[in-house]
Copies of this chain bind each other. A is one copy, B any other.
Amino acid sequence: MRGTVLYGTGDVRSEERPVPEITAPTDAIIRVVAACVCGSDLWPYRGMPPVKEPAPMGHEYCGIVEAVGDAVTTIKPGQFVIGSFCISDNTCPNCRYGYQSMCMQGGFMSGAQAELLRVPQADGTLVATPDMPADDLIPHLLTISDVLGTGWFAADAANVRPGSTVVVVGDGAVGLLGVLSAKQMGAARIIAMSRHESRQQLASEFGATDIVSERGDAGVERIKALTDGVGADSVLECVGTNESMQQALRSARRGGYVSYVGVPHGVELQAGQLFSTMVHLHGGPAPVRRYLPDLIDLVWQRKITPGKVFDLVLPLADVAEGYRAMDERRAIKALLRP
């Protein structure tokens, strides 16, 4: 079967790979209907850090169940399923507290940019849709696997409530879907920080009420000016750099909430800054499994259209172009069709 492997910096290939098989009774094998390239895939693609050995790529996926192991009870062959990018049994204490991305039997998915995929802990990781979805729903459903689930967690972790004033730092697909999530949670004002016109437009379409293109001190000043000098209730840090974290911390009001969902790269947190501003800080790999049923329902009812973040659709064989286009910021996010 066709799969995707990262061989080194900038060297990602579509190639023939072994057909995955059930290796544990809790596994499922799914035929991937759609996968995509994640912003986090770009870190190793850019050599930060370089891969040590060829790495099967992809962790966002939806598809049709081909086979399940003997211990799988809730997922059946023939169902259309969406899974989290994190493996979870959904029964351990961490899962029961809603932190399925910290499952004691967990781990991270890989190899989803492929025709077939083995999903461990199928009962706890996958959720089936009510029926076989219409084709136009596929991109929207695919986002739930990670990018929407992560944007949703960012808004939830930043305590977005009806009437909140929200700042979203980062105009990648996660940030844009953070805007959509904040809108769904009833935010009254959503300030998207973006300097790219096409992304600004999508942010507005998803519910942003204000766009701030300035960064650094000037960006903080603009946020303060837009919030009567107080700062925002909730700030979603959707990048993972030190600059974006500083932007986020300095944009929140005293006692406000800052969430962060990008893997931190060079982020330095000052305990004194946190103490003297009293922001709440919460983040990490999104526990997407917690949100899967509700997000599937929102897409199924056609209440949200998160799949609009896909501005490039490629056959799986052309995955390398998807990485290139996202690396060069020619595309927000690339959808792959096996």
Residues of A within 8 A of B (CB): 93-94, 97-99, 101-102, 228, 230, 245, 253-255, 260, 263-264, 267-272, 274-285, 287
Q: How far is the CA of A272 from the CA of B267 in the complex (A)?
A: 8
- Shortest distance in angstroms between A254's beta carbon and chain B's nearest beta carbon? 4
Q: How far is the CA of A285 from the CA of B272 in the complex (A)?
A: 11
| Copies of this chain, tallied across the complex | 2
Pick the residue among B93, B267, B275 that contacts A285 (CB under 8 A).
B275
Q: Which residues of B contact A279 (CB under 8 A)?
A: 282
Interface of chain A, helix or strand or loop or mixed?
mixed
Q: How far is the CA of A123 from the CA of B250 in the complex (A)?
A: 30
* Pairs A-B, 7 closest by C-beta atoms: A102-B254, A278-B284, A99-B255, A267-B271, A264-B271, A269-B269, A281-B281
- Shortest distance in angstroms between A10's beta carbon and chain B's nearest beta carbon? 25
| Cross-chain contact B269 with A230 (CB below 8 angstroms) | no
| Cross-chain contact B274 with A94 (CB below 8 angstroms) | no
Pick the residue among B228, B263, B274 that contacts A283 (CB under 8 A).
B274
| Cross-chain contact A254 with B285 (CB below 8 angstroms) | no
- Shortest distance in angstroms between A287's beta carbon and chain B's nearest beta carbon? 8
Q: How far is the CA of A101 from the CA of B276 in the complex (A)?
A: 9
| Cross-chain contact A284 with B280 (CB below 8 angstroms) | no
- Cβ-closest chain B residue relative to A272: B264
Question: Please, could you name 27 A-B residue pairs with CB atoms under 8 Å apart, sorted by A?
Answer: A93-B253, A97-B254, A97-B255, A99-B254, A99-B255, A101-B278, A102-B255, A102-B278, A255-B287, A264-B271, A264-B272, A264-B275, A267-B271, A268-B271, A269-B269, A269-B271, A274-B283, A274-B284, A275-B283, A275-B284, A276-B284, A277-B284, A278-B282, A280-B280, A280-B282, A281-B281, A281-B282
Instruction: Evaluate whether A281 and B280 lie within 8 angstroms (CB atoms) in the complex, with A97-B253, A228-B93, A255-B99 already known.
Output: yes
